[in-house]
Chain A
Amino acid sequence: MLIAILSGFLFAFILVFAGNDLKNKYAIVSAIVPFGLFVYFLQFTNRIAAGEVIKKTYQWIPSLNVNLGFTLDGISLIFALMITGIGFLVFVYTAAYLKGHHYLDRFYGYLAIFMAAMLGLVLSDNILSLFIFWELTSISSFFLIGFNNKEKSSRQSAVLALAITGIGGLLLLAGMLILGNVTGTYSIAEMLSSQSIISDSPHYIIIVLLLFGAAFTKSAQFPFHFWLPGAMKAPTPVSTYLHSATMVKAGIYLLMRFTPILGSTELWNTTLIIVGAVTMLYAAIHTIFRTDLKGILAYSTISALGILVFLIGLGTKDALLAACAFILVHAFYKACLFLVTGIIDHETGTRDTTVLSGLRKVMLPVAIAGILAAVSNAGIPPSFGFLGKDLIYESTLHMGDMAIVLTALAVLTNILLLYAGFVAGVKPFTGKLPSQFEKVHLPSYLMWAPPLILAVGGIVIGLFPGIVEGALIKPAVTALGANSGDIHLKLWHGFNTVLALSATTIGVGLLVYFVLKPSEKLVQLAQKFEIISPQHIVESLAYGFAYFSSYWSKIVQNGYLRNYIATIIIFLIIVVGYTLFNHTTFEIDYNSFAKLTVYEILTLVLMIVGILFTVFTKSRLAAVASMGVVGLAISLIFVYYSAPDLAMTQFSIDTLTVILFVLVLYKLPKYLNISNTANRIKDGVISIAFGSLIMVLALEVLSQPQNTETSSFYAENAYILAKGKNVVNVILVDFRGIDTFMEISVLTIAAIGVFSLLKLRLAKKFRDK
């Protein structure tokens, strides 16, 4: 099973070398990978249907408890078959859709990585590897959305999607780590037995909220839904595969997977019902205000995801059954509608539903696929969609007090979804064929066969629900922790409330479709509310953040060395000064000071004169020279206090510093007003404050009891251990030799830095970049 999951990554890796050969004639060959995987997972259906759960564990990082444990049960199987099956169709479709595209190999590579990551995600038993695969799907989605990376809007959408799903990924990681800590295991299978530990834990709420954050961002739930319509900038195969059939359902998968572990609490159910209901209705209403086919489909996808979250939130056996069935229903018809839209876009060059009509005359097989998918989407019998919708109503009707409200919400959403499906699947093909589309022709069968297969599949399963009942739906419901014994899918339940609701939905939906025509006016109407949409708010926040950070950088990183130094020093004064005056008692013992000698007084006078001269001179060179005098006076003080090594070093360093300054200043023009009075006063205040602080600090250090242990150790052992009499040097080259070694390495780096900063002459083509 590991090889099955990794095969996508392997294929992507091979493409790096073989991509050029593959992308021209043999692009279709790459569809073997998902097809092989589809067959591979198909052979498990009998075992899964018999109630078996297949487990494989591989050691990966045992010390961190990260094992590659894979579990194949009912839910995993549904998802795995969807991923590989629709993946196969999308791979085939892409071969024609992006025929001759320069980066077709790259596209296949991303798709393959995505497929592998998605398979890993739904099969993982270890929650940490689940997280890794989760992130991989986000990243491959980023590359796929931004596939047309020369368009600014593509790049923006890709970044937006990555930002939103990336935040979700982080929340997931946090949630998983807490969950792992609470239960002491990272295996989902083992967590199933410790459900009560989790729900009694004080961290239960935070775990659930983090998990919700991850699932809602990934599955585009309100208010995080807005990245999904943007993601439709991707080529249509991507929209089909990632953003309707598979990736966006990862959040749903996560919620389903954790329903038996975290579910059945008020927090879980209520939140999911509310978020799901808001999303499904909000997005369904949005479809009315769109004229772009992909936009309509994007919002109807969000709405469908909302329905799924809503159903998981209901949490009853009926609802979970409905969710499992609806995942399949939706995958069939929505993938088909996307593929049909792709064909329309590819052949006519537009996705504007107000222009498109009558295309059945030029592309009949596509029209059949579109209409059949719209039928399934509308829930018109005998489609699979009818079955799915019945199950939804069945579950909302059994919710006790809330039944009426919940059912009303579901019916309303379904009416609007029916409208959306018809606009996307029926409207482009009916009516008169405008003259501009008369020359449109049917594309290669590689393009129209996949949607047709999906559309027909949706009807066939509706007629014979037994195909999926035992093999997929029942094991999935079992895996969700519900009893699946008495499930029996069938089209005809007799005359009852559910049938009446279905009939109402279809009737009103068709009415809406015939009365309401998509138009520019409605789009403009929706744009008026753009300012209060979550997308606008998040984008404003992001822009505000960027604006603030550039403003802040301008203040702090202003490019003037003197301001940097001033900032550092002021910061030090505040921090050290605050600690000094608040946390230490301050007293100076004047008696402990030795008497001043004549030499010291003379040196001090020398220093003060040097400083005053530096400050008030009009010549730069003179200022540097007098700074040198101050430095030499300091080394004199070192001599008085018997630190000859320090004195020598200070002397040489000072000499070299003066030389360096002179070298630079000598070449500067001779204007003399270096700084104005205000600046001088400011600088003076800062310097005096800093100098006083250091003085106070030194006095404070003196008043502390001295700890001479270290220094006496060095003094005593310099000769015994290191055969040297000069303790300073022995410390430098022996006791703390590694420090010295690091210091000379740093010096070398500094010299290389200076050299490359001043000497680097870029070749012309690298300049201005």
Chain B
Amino acid sequence: MKTIILKTASKYLLPLLLLFSVFILLRGHYLPGGGFVGGLIASIAFVVYAFANGLEQTKDLLRIHPGYLMPVGLLIAFVAGISPMFLSALPFMTGEWFAEPLAVIGMVGSALFFDIGVFIVVVGVSLTIIFTITESA
């Protein structure tokens, strides 16, 4: 779809939506949001961009195939899960938190990293499926 309005808008929408998705991801522990929704919003950001500028350009923008995001996300989530086992000999998936909140981000703990893993996996999965289907259709 080559409309000049969408094309122009998408240039600004992409960074905004991505920022929004990170925002949703970080606030998840206290307010509505989380890794899953954040990941979906991030994928929508790229899909909107792809609608306006074509698939090839979006791929160039991403530089890597979204499929590679899936193992990365799984690895982060897994490491977040096992970290308590090594850091303080607690069972798998026990929440571990820094005592003081960080500026801007807020409380940081293993659950946040787990959520980041979920975020990345969701982006990888939805973009892989959509890109694959777009190319084959």
Which A residues are in CB contact (< 8 Å) with B126?
A: 656
Known contacts A663-B130, A734-B95, A758-B133; A740/B118 CB under 8 A: yes
Which A residues are in CB contact (< 8 Å) with B40?
A: 649, 652-653, 655-656
Stretch touching chain A among B2-10, B25-33, B56-64: B25-33
Known contacts A649-B40, A652-B41, A666-B137; A644/B32 CB under 8 A: yes
| Residues A726 and B130 in contact, CB atoms below 8 Å apart | no
| Residues A659 and B130 in contact, CB atoms below 8 Å apart | yes
Binary A-proximity of B71-108 (CB < 8 A = 1, otherwise 0): 10110011001000000000011010100000000010
Known contacts A738-B93, A741-B77; A645/B34 CB under 8 A: yes
In whole Å, how far is A654's beta carbon from the nearest beta carbon of chain B?
10
Q: How far is the CA of A737 from the CA of B132 in the complex (A)?
A: 29
| Residues B37 and A733 in contact, CB atoms below 8 Å apart | no
Residue A25 at the chain B interface, CB threshold 8 Å = no
Binary A-proximity of B38-62 (CB < 8 A = 1, otherwise 0): 0011011001000100000000000
| Residues A724 and B29 in contact, CB atoms below 8 Å apart | yes
| Residues B34 and A726 in contact, CB atoms below 8 Å apart | yes
Q: How far is the CA of A660 from the CA of B81 in the complex (A)?
A: 32
| Residues B67 and A745 in contact, CB atoms below 8 Å apart | no
| Residues A744 and B111 in contact, CB atoms below 8 Å apart | no
| Residues A722 and B111 in contact, CB atoms below 8 Å apart | yes
Residue A612 at the chain B interface, CB threshold 8 Å = no
Binary A-proximity of B116-137 (CB < 8 A = 1, otherwise 0): 0110011011101110111111
Please tell me which one of the listed residues B77, B111, B118, B135 contacts residue A734 in the complex, with CB atoms under 8 A apart. B111
Which B residues are in CB contact (< 8 Å) with A744?
A: 73-74, 77, 117-118, 121-122, 125
| Residues B133 and A738 in contact, CB atoms below 8 Å apart | no
Residue A56 at the chain B interface, CB threshold 8 Å = no
| Residues B70 and A751 in contact, CB atoms below 8 Å apart | yes
Which B residues are in CB contact (< 8 Å) with A741?
A: 77-78, 81, 93, 114
Which A residues are in CB contact (< 8 Å) with B36?
A: 649, 732
Known contacts A656-B47, A663-B133; A648/B33 CB under 8 A: yes
Binary B-proximity of A411-429 (CB < 8 A = 1, otherwise 0): 0000000000000000000
| Residues A652 and B128 in contact, CB atoms below 8 Å apart | no
Which B residues are in CB contact (< 8 Å) with A738?
A: 81, 92-93
In whole Å, how far is B27's beta carbon from the nearest beta carbon of chain A?
8
Q: How far is the CA of A123 from the CA of B61 in the complex (A)?
A: 72
| Residue of chain B at shortest CB distance from A654 | B40
| Residues A748 and B74 in contact, CB atoms below 8 Å apart | yes
| Residues A726 and B33 in contact, CB atoms below 8 Å apart | yes
Which A residues are in CB contact (< 8 Å) with B107?
A: 723
| Residues A737 and B137 in contact, CB atoms below 8 Å apart | no
Majority DSSP secondary structure for residues of A touching B: helix
Which B residues are in CB contact (< 8 Å) with A751?
A: 67, 70, 124-125, 128-129
| Residue of chain B at shortest CB distance from A642 | B32
Which A residues are in CB contact (< 8 Å) with B33?
A: 645, 648, 726, 729
Which B residues are in CB contact (< 8 Å) with A745?
A: 74
Most buried by B among A648, A722, A726, A744: A744
Residue B109 at the chain A interface, CB threshold 8 Å = yes
Binary B-proximity of A710-722 (CB < 8 A = 1, otherwise 0): 0000000000011
| Residues B28 and A726 in contact, CB atoms below 8 Å apart | yes
Q: How far is the CA of A311 from the CA of B119 in the complex (A)?
A: 77
Q: How far is the CA of A120 from the CA of B21 in the complex (A)?
A: 68
| Residues B137 and A721 in contact, CB atoms below 8 Å apart | no
Which A residues are in CB contact (< 8 Å) with B137?
A: 663-664, 666-667
| Residues B77 and A754 in contact, CB atoms below 8 Å apart | no
Q: How far is the CA of A660 from the CA of B126 in the complex (A)?
A: 10
Majority DSSP secondary structure for residues of B touching A: helix
In whole Å, how far is B106's beta carbon from the nearest beta carbon of chain A?
11
| Residues A748 and B95 in contact, CB atoms below 8 Å apart | no
Which A residues are in CB contact (< 8 Å) with B122?
A: 744, 747
In whole Å, how far is A223's beta carbon from the nearest beta carbon of chain B?
56
Which A residues are in CB contact (< 8 Å) with B129?
A: 660, 750-751, 754-755
Residue A83 at the chain B interface, CB threshold 8 Å = no
| Residues B74 and A729 in contact, CB atoms below 8 Å apart | no
Which A residues are in CB contact (< 8 Å) with B114?
A: 733, 737, 740-741
| Residues B41 and A645 in contact, CB atoms below 8 Å apart | no
In whole Å, how far is A636's beta carbon from the nearest beta carbon of chain B?
15
In whole Å, how far is A423's beta carbon from the nearest beta carbon of chain B?
69
In whole Å, how far is B80's beta carbon from the nearest beta carbon of chain A?
9
In whole Å, how far is B9's beta carbon from the nearest beta carbon of chain A?
16
Q: How far is the CA of A660 from the CA of B117 in the complex (A)?
A: 24
| Residue of chain B at shortest CB distance from A652 | B40
Which A residues are in CB contact (< 8 Å) with B136?
A: 758-759
Which B residues are in CB contact (< 8 Å) with A648?
A: 24, 32-33, 37
Please tell me which one of the listed residues A645, A652, A722, A732 contacts residue B95 in the complex, with CB atoms under 8 A apart. A722
Known contacts A741-B78, A744-B73, A754-B132; A728/B34 CB under 8 A: yes
Which A residues are in CB contact (< 8 Å) with B109?
A: 723
Q: How far is the CA of A258 from the CA of B40 in the complex (A)?
A: 69
Known contacts A663-B137, A734-B111; A750/B30 CB under 8 A: no
Residue A725 at the chain B interface, CB threshold 8 Å = yes
Please tell me which one of the listed residues B28, B51, B73 contacts residue A729 in the complex, with CB atoms under 8 A apart. B28
In whole Å, how far is A257's beta carbon from the nearest beta carbon of chain B?
53
Which A residues are in CB contact (< 8 Å) with B111?
A: 722, 724, 730, 733-734, 737
Please tell me which one of the listed residues A645, A649, A723 contacts residue B97 in the complex, with CB atoms under 8 A apart. A723
In whole Å, how far is B131's beta carbon from the nearest beta carbon of chain A?
9
| Residues B31 and A733 in contact, CB atoms below 8 Å apart | no
| Residue of chain A at shortest CB distance from B24 | A648
Known contacts A726-B28, A737-B81, A741-B81; A759/B95 CB under 8 A: no
| Residue of chain B at shortest CB distance from A718 | B29
Which A residues are in CB contact (< 8 Å) with B117?
A: 744
In whole Å, how far is B111's beta carbon from the nearest beta carbon of chain A?
5
Which A residues are in CB contact (< 8 Å) with B43?
A: 656
In whole Å, how far is A647's beta carbon from the nearest beta carbon of chain B?
8
Which A residues are in CB contact (< 8 Å) with B28?
A: 726, 729, 733
Q: How far is the CA of A653 from the CA of B40 in the complex (A)?
A: 7
Q: How far is the CA of A751 from the CA of B70 in the complex (A)?
A: 9
| Residues A737 and B128 in contact, CB atoms below 8 Å apart | no
Which B residues are in CB contact (< 8 Å) with A649?
A: 36-37, 40
| Residues B70 and A748 in contact, CB atoms below 8 Å apart | yes
Q: How far is the CA of A738 from the CA of B47 in the complex (A)?
A: 30
Q: How far is the CA of A734 from the CA of B37 in the complex (A)?
A: 17
Q: How far is the CA of A744 from the CA of B119 in the complex (A)?
A: 10
Which A residues are in CB contact (< 8 Å) with B31?
A: 725-726
Binary B-proximity of A356-379 (CB < 8 A = 1, otherwise 0): 000000000000000000000000
Which B residues are in CB contact (< 8 Å) with A755?
A: 67, 128-129, 132
Known contacts A649-B40, A747-B125; A733/B134 CB under 8 A: no
In whole Å, how far is B132's beta carbon from the nearest beta carbon of chain A?
5
Q: How far is the CA of A17 from the CA of B95 in the complex (A)?
A: 55
Which B residues are in CB contact (< 8 Å) with A726?
A: 28-34
Q: How far is the CA of A663 from the CA of B50 in the complex (A)?
A: 11
In whole Å, how far is A651's beta carbon from the nearest beta carbon of chain B?
9
Q: How far is the CA of A737 from the CA of B81 in the complex (A)?
A: 8
| Residue of chain A at shortest CB distance from B127 | A751
In whole Å, how far is A561's beta carbon from the nearest beta carbon of chain B?
15
| Residues B47 and A659 in contact, CB atoms below 8 Å apart | yes
Binary B-proximity of A662-674 (CB < 8 A = 1, otherwise 0): 0110110000000
Known contacts A740-B118, A754-B132; A748/B124 CB under 8 A: yes
19 contacts between A and B (CB under 8 A): A648-B33, A656-B47, A659-B44, A664-B133, A667-B137, A722-B95, A722-B111, A723-B109, A725-B31, A726-B33, A730-B111, A733-B29, A733-B118, A740-B118, A744-B77, A747-B121, A747-B122, A750-B125, A751-B124
> Other CB < 8 Å A-B pairs besides A660-B129, A750-B129, A752-B67, 18 of them?
A645-B37, A648-B32, A649-B36, A653-B40, A655-B44, A656-B130, A660-B133, A664-B133, A726-B28, A726-B30, A726-B31, A728-B32, A729-B29, A734-B93, A734-B95, A747-B125, A751-B125, A758-B133
What are the nearest 5 A-B pairs in CB distance? A652-B40, A644-B32, A724-B29, A751-B125, A758-B136
